[in-house]
Each structure stands twice: as structure tokens, then as C-alpha cells.
Chains A and B, each alone.
Chain A
Amino acid sequence: MSTDHHKQSFWTKYVFSTDHKIIGIQYGITSLVWLLFGFALMMVMRYQLAYPESPVPFVGGLLGDGGILPSEMYNSLGAMHGTIMIFLGVVPLAFGAFGNYFVPLQIGAIDMAFPKLNAASYWMYFVGSVIMAVGFFVPGGAANSGWTSYPPLADIATTGQTVWLLGMIMLITSSLLGSINILATVIQLRTEGMTWMKLPIFVWTQFITAFLLLLAFPPLEAAGVLQLMDRLAGTSFFMPSGLVVSGEVLTNAGGGSPLLWQHLFWFLAHPEVYVLILPAFGIVTEIIANNTRKPIQGYKSLVYSMVFLGFMSFIVWAHHMYLTGMGTSIGAFFQTTTMIISIPSVVILTALLLSLWGGSIRFNTPMLFALGFLPMFGIGGLTGLPLGLAAADIHLHDTYYVIGHFHYVVAPGTIFALFAGIYYWFPKMTGKRTNELLGKLHFFFSFIFMNGVFMPMFIQGLAGVSRRLWDGGEYYAHAADVLYLNEVMSMSAWLLGLSQLFFIINMIISLKGEKTGEANPWDATTLDWTDTTSPPLGHGNFETVPSVYRGPYEYSVPSASNDFSPQSEKG
């Protein structure tokens, strides 16, 4: 396929582009918009939690019933917040945007292995997200059975659930095409000298993530098909016999198993959480190496840990199902694998922390977010341990403790890493610099308010406050002492939202700013920085395709004249 200069219309150059950099930006902008929207949904929910049954400001007009959030709509907001943040926000940004833009650059490739497939995967994501949005407008509103869509409830829920299933099928297909592309690209298109153990950790994380998505998503697609059959064709795959709904016995054939859905769902959804964290590990590693001016401690340990983590992630899923009445043998099996999987995570976090030791640390905005990631991920990971132990989970399952745990890993965890990546790679993508003051303000306020939102959740969870309660626990005596925290968390959430203005304004003024045209302002070692212009050439990325002679993090090599030695520089 020749990529010589042919006339391109606006549509082929920017809209239906097959260039991985444009597609990466398309994924990036779309996913950031969805992240904002998903955040907005949560801000409405938090108003109800802080001030139950009082009219919601600004959006009250949309809600009917005097501007108060109805309970079914609360459930829709909850289910869609989860779905949007995970499938329309974080994964497309971490994998679709960063992966597409930087994997080819870091391995010395002129594009992804299958550029047209790449464009197709973006547009399928876009269409899938539109379908999800449509759910809000159908009778009964958007899906409201949790992002986990458990039957029997999801089987008999309103039309929005069918829309959710159709949207998921589109999104899963998009994801599969993307995974195939990343895997084939990394395996086949590494430039000369780029051996597996010279790959930047960022590429390793994208590669492993792609494998997880490839093998784990299809069973959920199968389950989605089965749930669609239950809802549209009257089958009973997930419907047990003799179900009574609103006083009436259902007439379907029965004999189905709600547990079957849970197995198929969590078979994906557990590897999915590693999909959420692995790209973050990759981005943070790049930034820490660059801003300590020394090699990463334990490159091999990182690689082996991540590969092991990837494999283990497939055999821990039923720790989400400890309370389903499954037998003690299988519970013990999953508890064991779950405990084992915490080990590679600790190795990874330790390697990153040790990498700071003796470093010449530069506290720029990307580095602040990367450093902030470390303890936040630590808290998220540690709070996972009592959940992974079946006995403790009896008390904590389906409480706010769980919500606190997973938000710590994804929100001040992954999302901080993604912000770090945006600030780090902004100069490469645009040739311009971001404003450091605004970046630092964004970081400090986000850090404070993230903890303000999520730390109290552990307290509420330990007190026994259940998740997915429209009234935030108001009607339960055991919640009385910790109810005041709802207002604290909601205030923090709204202030966290306001803090994002620093980021939005920074992006706008920086994009309008002067082009410095610096190719490598961070003095980095990897091919994306050392062998491309800022931004990289439209066709083919490199003036000359580089060969690789060194590892990815050769900073402060004793004999070198600079404190960094590019991968493409001969030894």
C-alpha cells in the first residue's frame, strides 16, 4: 500500500483518516467528552445523596416531578455512569487514544498494521456510543440494572436495557478490531533492533492489554446475545423457573440460571479492570524514567509481573461472586488466585517507587500526576485485599467500601495517569507547551478533592451502607452515624468538577498558543521523542525510519555526554 502524496479531501484527511495519529486524537477527544458527561451524571446523583428528594439545581427542569431525581432515574444514572466511564471513557482513552497514537511511534513503525481496520474500529466506537446515548431517550429511560446488568432484573427491565446490549455489542466489536491491530503491530512492525526486551514499558502494557481484550470480551458478547434472546425472543437462559414479578408468575419456560450471566460477565469484567490499570502503569513508567533521569528499576521484573498479571486476571473472576452461594471449594480456589494476583501488582508498584530512589527528580505537571498515582493506586490495591478474602467480603460486598476501592484505582489511579500522559505528550502531538501553573493547580485541587470524595466511602462501607441506594442510606439505622459524610463527598465531587476547569482552560489556551516546534522538550530517550518532529510527519511518521541500538531508559549513562541516550543512537 503506497502512501505517496495524493490529494485528500477534508473528509479523508481528518474525518475518515486511516492515519493512526488522527485516529488516536479522534479517540482522545471523543473519550474526554464522554468522561465529562459521565462525571456530570455522577454530580447529579451526588446531589440526591447529599440532599435527598430536594430539587436538583440547573438540571432540575429535565427531571420532571418538581425537579427531584426519581429513584428509577437515579438507577439509570448509576448504571450509565459506570458504563460510560469504563467503556466510553477510560478504555478508549487509555487504549484507543494513547495506544493508537504512541505504539507505532515508540516501536519505529510508520502506522498500525491495519490502518483501514483502525478507522473502522474508531467509527464503531463512535456509533456504539451514540447507541448508548439513545438509551436516555427511549421510554423508561436508559439502562437501570447497574453496569453489571444482572438478570433476572436486567431480563425484565425497560427498553433501555436492550439499547445497552446493542451498544455493548458494537463497542465490543470495536474493541476486538483495536486489539487485533495493536497485537499485530507490535509483533510484526517493530523496527530493526527493537527486540522484545528493548520495548518501552508503555508498549508492553498496551500489548498485554490487547491480549486481555481479545480473549476476555467475546464471552460477554456471547452473554449479551443470550440476554437479548431472553428479552426479545422469550428464551429463559437467565430466568429461573417460577419467577414472580409484581405478584404475577411469569409464563416463560424457566430452567435458566442468573448465575450463568454472572460467570460470563465477570469472565470479561475482571480482566477488564486490568485493562483499566495496565496502560496507566505504562504511562507512569515512561514519565517516571524521564523525570528521574535514571533507568527504571527492575525492567525485567515489570515485564514478567505484567505478563503474569495478565494471565492470572483470567482466573480470579468469581471473587465478585463470593456471596452467590457457590460452594466452599470453588470459593477457596478463587480466593487463592485472588491473593496470588496481588503479588505482581506489589512488584510493579515497588519497582516504580524504587525507581525514584537517587533520581534527579523534576516536579513538572506530568510527574506530579505520575507521583500522585503511586500512593492512590496503593490505597486502591490495599483496600482490595479484604474484598478478595471471602470471609471479610461477607461484610463488605455490595457496600460503599467496594465503590471506594475501585474508584481509588480508576479515578486518582488510572485517570491521574491519563492526565499525566496528556500533559507529557501534548508537546509531541501539537508542538506547543501547556501552562505549568494551571497544570499544577489542576493536580493539587484534583488530588485533594479525589480523596475527599472517595476516602469517606470506606467509612460508610465498613458501617454497612449498601451501594446503589437512591437515598444514600437514609432509611437504615446502621447508616445514621455516617450519613453526614454524604454531604462531604458531594461537596468534594462538585469541587473536583470545578477543578477540571483548570485542565479545560489550559487545553484551550495552550492549543491557541505559540508553536515552539521542539521535537524533544523533555529530553526523553524513546523513539516517539527522539526521531520525530512535533507533531510527527503526517505520512510515515519518520524522515528516516530509525533502528534501535539500546534499551528504552538509558538516562545518565556514565560515559555519555548527555544525561540521556536515545534508543536510536549507536552505542
Chain B
Amino acid sequence: MAVVGPWRLAWRRLRRNRVALGFLGLFVAIVVFCLAAPLWASEVAHTGPNKTHTLEKIQAGGEVREVVNREGRPIGPQWLEADGKFFLGADGRLGRDEMVRLMYGGRTSLEIGFAAALLTTLLGTLLGLLAGYYGGWPDTLISRALDVIWAFPVTLLAISLGLVLAVGGLQIGPLHLSGSSLWITILIIGGVYVPYMARPIRGEVLALREREFVEAAEAQGAGPGRIMLTELLPNLSSTIIVFFALNVANAMLLEALLSFLGVGVQPPNGSWGTMLSSGLDLLTSAPLLTYLPGAMILLTVLAVNVFADGLRDALDPRSKVRIEAHSGLTKAESVEGIAP
């Protein structure tokens, strides 16, 4: 009888989950759409994401149309009437091409979502591993620090940091980040979610540490670094993978919120969140300017969430990662209410 490893088994389960794969396809389509931004901008729309066309007129459908009319109302979707220019209309008084901005904005939102999720995942795993494995004072130090950040209302903390750093920028040693750098938003979003991952990981490490294979490795003379890397980490990998996917979803939602409030992505950069915010001024006259970026965020996060659920079902159906990522509670707390 052929022996099937856990990864192969998970892959087989995932492959049978049509819904999860379908949404993965949707996610890939969105990524491709956003990556195609420069191509669309240069070949079809012939403009850039920040280029204004306030006083211009275009030829569309055999007539001349103003990009922004006298009342300041932007032109609506032209689809292909103007050869792809203003495919989705203009974005407001400045008359920028909405389609081009949507594609470039998506790049920003995705970049921040991925980079912040990666940061949360790396720091969360590292701190959870160190605290859980060493115990004693390193555990006390790390856990107390995590508890403090965890006690903050997470959006309020992110907004405060965004506000202060967007004004002053950030100086880390010789490295200076200006207030409009995307890295500021990435660091903030990646940072505030660390306790939500590190606490559950620490809880899992505490349980794993007592298992026989760790004892066996210790008896063979393996050092702490080796035990963490070759014994504990592989056992955490399915949790970490699902966590990463959920972190991307959370990070993208928080980015939208921060940018919407003006403390996330700063001009001249734009993201779906900043577009949502600027579209709101024209909600009654041109609701599409709010709905388009909003729907893009919703679809992307939805795709990530459904795929994450599929991953969880394939890797470890009984895992509680969704509760853990939402609340920062450990698995024991998520199942029993409190650590038994």
C-alpha cells in the first residue's frame, strides 16, 4: 500500500474543493488585472493614474464630451466608445481615469495586504515560538508586551499610529521613511495584528513542547534552535499557512479603513481605500466611484477568505484559526472559553 504524506493528502483534499479553487481563480484574476495596470494605462487609456484631465474634452460615440462638466461632475463610464479612454469614467473634479486608478490602486492595496500579512506572520511565529519554547522570563517579557498591544482597540491604535507617522515619518536608525511611504502603512498594519497571531502560536507551542518527539530530540542533544526549526515549526506549518491567508484578508480590510480615514496610503499614491473615501463625496451623483473600489476590496477579501477556509479544511478541519485571528485567543481559549 502506498503511503500518502500529510501534504499530499491535503493537496488532494484541496483539489477536490471546487469552491475554494474557484475563488483562488478569482483572486488570481484580480491580481492579474492589477498587474496589467501599466499596460492598460500606456496602450489603451494613454494616461497615468495621477494625470488630471480637468479641462479636456474627448471624442466618444461620435460626439465631443467634457471630462468634467461645469458643475464639476465627472464623465461616466465610456466603455469602449472612446477607444478605452475613461472606460469607467473619470474620478471627480480632477478628471483622472477611473479604470487606470482602479488598477493601480489595487496594486497598492494588494502590496500592502501581502507585505503586512507577511510581517505579521513572521513576527507572530517568531515571538510565539520563542515565548512558548523558552518559557520563564523570555515568555513573561514577550507575553506581557503582546497583552498590552492586544488590549488596545486595534483600529484606534492603528489610526493613532497612522496619524502620527503620516505627519512625521519614521526614523529607524539610519533608515528614514517619509510620511507618504507605503512602508509606514505596512509596518502599522503588520504590527498591530502580531498579538493576534503570536498568542495562539505560543499556545500551540506550549502544547507541542510536552510531546514525546520534542523530548526525543532533546535526548539526542538537539539545541533549542534546532528543536524550534526542525521539530516545532513543521508541526505549526498548517496553522501558519491558514493564518497567513487570514492575515492577508484582515490586512486588506484594515488598509481600506485607514486609507478611508486618510491615515493610511498618502497621496500621490492611491489605493482602493483612498478611492472609496474620495468617491464618497459624489455618492449621490456618481455612486459608481464608491461602489467600484468597495466591490474590488470585497471581492478580493472574499476570495482570500473562501480560499483560506478551503486551506483549513484541507490541512486541519478542526483548527480554530479563524477565531484565533479574529480575537487573539489561543486554541484552548477558543474551544473551552479559557485555558483549562
The reply to whether chain A is a binding partner of chain B is no
- A interface list, Cβ under 8 A from B: none
